[in-house]
Structures are given as structure tokens and as C-alpha cells.
Structure 1
């Protein structure tokens, strides 16, 4: 991915034709269901790395929600129906499961927002189908961590979020610079005007990605 113009950055945050930039407004507290301990460690490490890149914070507990970033790894969408109390968190869960099955989707993200419009919680559902089962755990974890750090546009990553660097797979440097710029304290947590992309572009050009472990 090469982000060389403000329009290319604006496209990352365009939803249904409108520019919609939103980042987290509180420290991130993740919890993961449905994976082994080794995968849990990899996923939490990827989240910590992306949060550190952004200059944002993590915490042990969210005072309102306990955990505010929930990952669910499942084999079949119907498995969500059996998760205790999930229907209390996700309105219309049976209808959502029906839609995901009909679309043959393998992942879905749902965000909730605070009174100011910033992200207050996110729910990530991963159906580990044949395609995802072949993705290295480290790559899948880093990709998912990137996809929840902001509210991205529906067509933000046509070629994915990661690139090859020799024998390793890393976060696309251009995207890393945008993430770091997105969390510049000078910028608002929520922006609806595409002129915001100009400010992101300017900061992304001057803010290196440093030594973030990505």
C-alpha cells in the first residue's frame, strides 16, 4: 500500500460515501474467547504492539464494561447462539448470525461509541474457515489488531494490511504511519469532514513509525 496523497488516506475512512474518522476514546481492555493459550498470547501481543504504535493506552479493566474489546473465535456462526449472555451484548444476534451465514463471511466487527462519538467498545467475530486456518497466527493477529484500532472504511484494505519484508510479514509502513498520525493528541477522536485527511496526511509524512515491534 502506498499512501501518497490525502485522497488515498481519505479513502481509508470513507464509509457509504462519507468521510468518517473515529478512534478509541478510552484505554483498550481486550478479552479473547475460543483460542488456545499460545494463540491468546500472540493476539494480545499484536494488540499491544499496535496500541503502542498508535501511542494509545491499554488497561487491566474498563470501569464501565470490564473488557471493551472482545474477540470470539468459532468454527461455525451458529456457535455464537450458544455463547452465554452474548445476546445481551449484541442486539438481534440470531438475525446477525443468519446474515453472516448467508454471506459465507469469515469475520465480522461491530463497534460501539461513547457520547462524543469515539470508540468505547468493539466485538470481533472470527469464523476459522479453511482460508483463515492457513494464515499464520502471527499474521492473523496483527491484521486483526490493525482493523480495530480505528473505524476504517468498508473498502480500506483491498490488498490487506500486511506486506512482506524479506522472510517476514510486517505491517505496511504507510499504514503504520497513518495509525500513528491518527492518534496524534492534537487531532480529534472523531471527524466527519474530509479536510481531516489533509491533517492526517501531513502528520503521516513527518511521523516515522519508529521502533514499534511490527
Structure 2
């Protein structure tokens, strides 16, 4: 990937550059699915964390769990989840906006004092479009989009996933390389200077 292509993935619609990775092990939990889908989602977390060289954990010492994935049919269901409004500030107006936009997915991030990702909430309203997506594809897509703080416009034109000739859906190699580069220990956990994209580009070219 060129530095400009990388920069675009972390340049927000307001023109600011921001890239952040997780600052702690990821402890995921999934709501609203059967055990088979639960294992698929956790398997996606395991695969992407292994790719990034990042740790997973059973629990987060501060939050209990820090990566929550919710599957549901109607946005109003979120308002009935106990204490979710304490974890997601402005939950009620957020739900109203998502309903008005007829959205079927949304991600909310929380950050630590240094700006690294502290928690992520993934909301998936299973409409006819998401219902047609295989569970493995949906899980991998969501985990990839929550392993880093991407731009709010990233992947609007092209998915981070690609399809092999045998029909299998996999993470695009250039996105996989970018995730590995962002999690390189020598890279900062948070970057707001666009020159960060140059450093990422340089690291993608290095052998793993």
C-alpha cells in the first residue's frame, strides 16, 4: 500500500488523522446468538489477534469484558440491556439516530488516558442484508474493523475482506500487513500526525 492509501484509511471525514490500537488484551463477549455463532465470533478475534501479535484474555481486570458484540433485530432492544447506557454515553439519542438512518451496524470505542483503545461495542441489527452474510464473513469483518480505530470513511468503497477462487472469504493481504505494522511494538499505540502513515508503509515492507 502507498502512504497515501494508508493515510486515507485513518483520515476522518473532518480531515483529522487518528490511528489507535488496543492498549490492553481483548476480552470479548457476544450477545444474542447461538453457541455455534459465538464460537465463530471468538474464533475471528483469535485469528485477528494472532495476526496482530496482540493478546486476548478471559476477563479485563477493570471492565470484566471489553469487547462486546450485540446481535439483535431492532435498535430499541439496546435500550433494554441493563446498564448499557452507563457504558455507552448517550445511548438513547444514538439509537434514535441509527433508527432514523436505517443503519444495520455501528461501533462505539472507548479509550484509556493515553488514547489507546480500552473497549469496543459492536452493534449488529440483523436485517435482510446482514442475514444474507455468512457468519464467518460478518464476524471477521467486524473484528477487523474494531482491531484498530480506522477512519469513519474507511472501507466505505471497498471491504477489508476479499474472496479466493474457491469462494473462501479472507482478509485482504494489504490490510493484514497494515494491522501487523500498526501493532509493531516500535510503533506508537496512538498517532495523530499524518506522517505516521509513512512509518506504517515502511514497516509493511519489512519481513515479519
Q: TM-score, normalised by structure 2?
A: 0.96
Question: 1:17 matched to which residue of 2?
Answer: 15
**1:122 and 1:148 in contact (8 A); partners too:** yes
SS in 1 for 2:115: coil
Q: Which runs of 5+ in 1 are unaligned?
A: 209-214
Distance 2:207 2:186 in 1: 13
Are residues 1:36 and 2:34 paired?
A: yes
The 5 A counterparts of 1:129-168 are 129-157=127-155, 158-167=157-166, 168=168
The 5 A counterparts of 1:133-212 are 133-157=131-155, 158-167=157-166, 168-207=168-207
Distance 2:175 2:24 in 1: 22
Q: Which runs of 5+ in 2 are unaligned?
A: none
The one of 84, 87, 90 equivalent to 2:85 is 87
SS in 1 for 2:124: strand
How big is each residue's C-alpha offset from its partner over 1:170-195, in whole Å with a ceiling of 9 and x where there is no partner? 10001000000000000000011111
**1:118 and 1:189 in contact (8 A); partners too:** yes
The count of residues paired between Structure 1 and Structure 2 equals 205
Q: TM-score, normalised by structure 1?
A: 0.94
Are residues 1:7 and 2:31 paired?
A: no
Residue 77 of structure 1 and its aligned partner are, at CA, apart by 0.4
Distance 2:92 2:62 in 1: 26
How big is each residue's C-alpha offset from its partner over 1:93-130, in whole Å with a ceiling of 9 and x where there is no partner? 11111000011100000001001110000111000010
Change (3 A) 1:38 1:141: same
Distance 1:119 1:198 in 2: 22
Moved over 4 A (4+): none
Question: 2:54 matched to which residue of 1?
Answer: 56
Distance 2:123 2:100 in 1: 15
Residue 207 of structure 1 and its aligned partner are, at CA, apart by 3.9
